[in-house]
Structure 1
Amino acid sequence: MIEFNQVSKVFDSGENRVEALKDINLTVEKGDIFGVIGFSGAGKSTLIRTVNLLEYPTSGNVIVEGKNLANMSEKQLREAKKNIGMIFQHFNLLNSKTVFDNVAMPLILSKNKKKNIQERVHEILRFVGLEDKARNYPDQLSGGQKQRVGIARALATNPYILLCDEATSALDPQTTKSILNLLQRINEEYKITILIITHEMEVIKQICNRVAVMENGHVIEAGSVFEIFAHPKTDTTRNFVKSVIRDEVPESVYKLLKEYENHSRIFKIEFFGADSGQPIVSKIAKVYEVEINVLFGNITELQGIPFGNLIVELSGEHHEIQRAIRFIVDQDIEVKEVMEDGSQCRVSFERLMGNALHG
């Protein structure tokens, strides 16, 4: 659907030369809700604007539906852009025009018949829940309503791609959720591919099926949302994941634990899918001679799949702790030992055997 092939973008103004994009290779499949996340200055806004050529790539190609828009004539480009809707962070509405006229604007510019414009605008306003606001002006609307007008305008020409440039960052959490639910409906009911950029991992978690993480003009990680949340490979991605899924024991708890002179170790048990329903803790308590202190637990849902972690302190004889952890690993559940400095080390059979030999 959308392919970025070695895309680079350089902004060069005299002495100031900024490489906003550096050799981006990325594919957005048809039907995706694809998220691009990064901090300010990562290049994500520039990236999304190359799709409809609001920014022309300095090098490389952006292929949309098998076509390179940069090779089209002006007339061909105008026609192609009708298939690419875009919504913006600050709505970009005309305050002197009514809601109806704002939504109708793309259809008017495309010289549609008046009857067709009337029908289409009312249909879209019904879909976004603003049919009763058709004669209102933007200044009479809330932020969430303004963004719904922006979405309706982007949908007016029946696009097959919808670009969302920080579409929810100016909204409060409750309104953000309603707008994201609307975008999900658009994807499901109109079969529109959505490319959304954001700096909020909660947005990615709520509606995206795939995600790319950007930093300094590069895509540093990409994959399914579940894969990125479960196994982040870079520090930047880990920090984004931690913003919505906490998996660390507070420092105050570590301090308390260090005051006790006992044979204890701390482990993080990670649950995915069906694993989330297993009564691991109660089984360990019944079978092994260890004391279990649950320090932290968290479970959420990613694309309908349960995902979470449990951080526990196990106290007892070294070999008995080893047996308990070996039992968990045997269930194909990932376990990481949490060190005194807060770092985490994945527990494997080999590591358990090594610890047993040296214990």
Structure 2
Amino acid sequence: MIEFRNVSKVFKTGDKQIDALKDIDITVEKGDIFGVIGFSGAGKSTLIRTVNLLEKPSSGEVLIEGKNYTTIPEKKLREAKRNIGMIFQHFNLLNSKTVYDNVAMPLILAKMKKSDIHTRVKEILQFVGLSDKADNYPNELSGGQKQRVGIARALAPNPSILLCDEATSALDPQTTKSILELLKRVNQEYKITILIITHEMEVIKQVCNRVAVMEDGQLIESGSVFDIFAHPRTVTTRNFVRSVVRDEVPESVINLINLDRESSRIYKVEFFGTDSGQPVVSKTAKRFNVEINVLFGNITELQGIPFGNLIIQVIGAHREVEDAIQYIIEQNVEVKEVEADGSQHRVNDQSFVGNIVHG
């Protein structure tokens, strides 16, 4: 649907050169809600603006449904870009126009019949929940309502792609949640592919199915949201994941590690999904002559799949503790031992995606 092939963008100011994008290769499949995340200056906004050629790449290709938009003549490009809607962080509404007129604007510019414009605007305002605000002006609306107008305006020409450039950054958490739920409906009901630019991992977690991580103009990691959360490979990605799923060991837990290491050890049990429904931790405690205390837990859901970690204290004879941990590992669960300084090392011989449900 959207394909970036070796896309680079260079900005020149006097004798200075800024490499905003460096050889970006990303494919967004039809029907994706694809997120691009990075800190300020990572190049993500420049990237999204190359899709509708608000920024023309210095090199490389941007393909939409197989067509190279970087080589389309200007007159034909204007028509092709009607297939791409865009919503912005600061709404970009015309304050002198009503909600109705703001939504109708792209249809007026496309010279659509007045009766068809009225039908379409009425339909789309009902979809975004603003039927009763058609005659209001932007300064009479809340931030969330303004963004709904922005979404309605972007949807009015019936695009197949929707670009969202930090679309929720100016909104409070509750309003952000409602806007993300609306974007999910857009994706599901209108079958529109969505590309989201954000610096908030919570946005990625709530709405996206795939994600790319950018840093200093480069793509450093990409994959399914579940895989990126479960197995981040870079420091930057791990920091983003930790903003949503806390996986560092609390200091109170570290203090416990100074207990007798022969009778008490601390482990972090990481789980990614559930298949068997077996309460592995409680089952282990019953099977072996050990006592297991759950000291800390952080559990969330990614696309309906449980994801998180438990920090457990296992008390017992050295051999019993080892046998108990080996049993947990055999359930295809990743286990890390927590050292006195808070560092962790994996007990498993290899990483697994497994089936643990805490009991």
Q: TM-score, normalised by structure 2?
A: 0.94
Deviations 1:243-271 (A, max 9, x none): 1111222123312432x334322211122
Deviations 1:20-59 (A, max 9, x none): 1111001000000000011111110000000000000011
- Distance in 2 (alpha carbons) for counterparts of 1:285 and 1:6: 53
Q: Which range moves more in the overlay, 186-195 or 238-247?
A: 238-247
Deviations 1:44-77 (A, max 9, x none): 0000000000000011111111111121112210
In the TM superposition, structure 1's runs of 4+ consecutive aligned residues that sit over 3 Å from their partners are: none
Q: Secondary structure at the match of 1:174?
A: helix
Q: Structure 1 counterpart of 2:239, which letter?
A: N
Map 1:254-265; keep pairs closer than 5 Å.
254-258=254-258, 260-263=259-262, 264-265=264-265
Match of residue 120 from structure 1: 120
Q: Structure 1 counterpart of 2:260, which letter?
A: E
Deviations 1:67-106 (A, max 9, x none): 1112111221011110000000000001011001100110
Seen in structure 2, the aligned counterparts of structure 1 residues 350 and 250 have a Cα distance that, compared at 3 Å, is: closer
Q: Secondary structure at the match of 2:257?
A: helix
Q: Which range moves more in the overlay, 303-312 or 187-196?
A: 303-312
- Distance in 1 (alpha carbons) for counterparts of 2:242 and 2:140: 38
Q: Secondary structure at the match of 1:8?
A: strand
1:94 touches 1:102 (CA, 8 Å); kept in 2?
yes
Deviations 1:158-181 (A, max 9, x none): 000000000001000000000000
2:291 touches 2:314 (CA, 8 Å); kept in 1?
yes
- Distance in 1 (alpha carbons) for counterparts of 2:256 and 2:350: 31
- Distance in 1 (alpha carbons) for counterparts of 2:350 and 2:104: 65
For the pair 1:183 / 2:171, whether they are aligned, the reply is: no
Could you tell me the percent identity over the aligned residues? 74
Q: Secondary structure at the match of 1:289?
A: coil
Q: Secondary structure at the match of 2:54?
A: coil
**Pairwise CA distance, 1:297:** 1.0
Deviations 1:102-127 (A, max 9, x none): 00110111111111111111110000
Q: Structure 2 counterpart of 1:237, which letter?
A: T
Match of residue 43 from structure 2: 43
Deviations 1:224-281 (A, max 9, x none): 00000111111111111111111222123312432x3343222111222225843122
- Distance in 1 (alpha carbons) for counterparts of 2:273 and 2:257: 31
Q: Which range moves more in the overlay, 324-333 or 154-163?
A: 324-333
Match of residue 59 from structure 2: 59
For the pair 1:30 / 2:39, whether they are aligned, the reply is: no
- Distance in 2 (alpha carbons) for counterparts of 1:276 and 1:153: 47
- Distance in 2 (alpha carbons) for counterparts of 1:182 and 1:189: 10
Match of residue 72 from structure 1: 72
Q: Structure 2 counterpart of 1:122, which letter?
A: K
Seen in structure 2, the aligned counterparts of structure 1 residues 256 and 265 have a Cα distance that, compared at 3 Å, is: closer
Match of residue 289 from structure 2: 289
> Structure 1 or 2: larger helix share?
1
Seen in structure 2, the aligned counterparts of structure 1 residues 337 and 275 have a Cα distance that, compared at 3 Å, is: farther
Map 1:1-359; keep pairs closer than 5 Å.
1-258=1-258, 260-263=259-262, 264-274=264-274, 277-349=277-349
- Distance in 2 (alpha carbons) for counterparts of 1:169 and 1:103: 22
Q: Structure 2 counterpart of 1:261, which letter?
A: D
Q: Cα RMSD (Å) of the superposition?
A: 1.5
Q: Secondary structure at the match of 2:51?
A: coil
Count of paired positions: 350
1:262 touches 1:315 (CA, 8 Å); kept in 2?
no
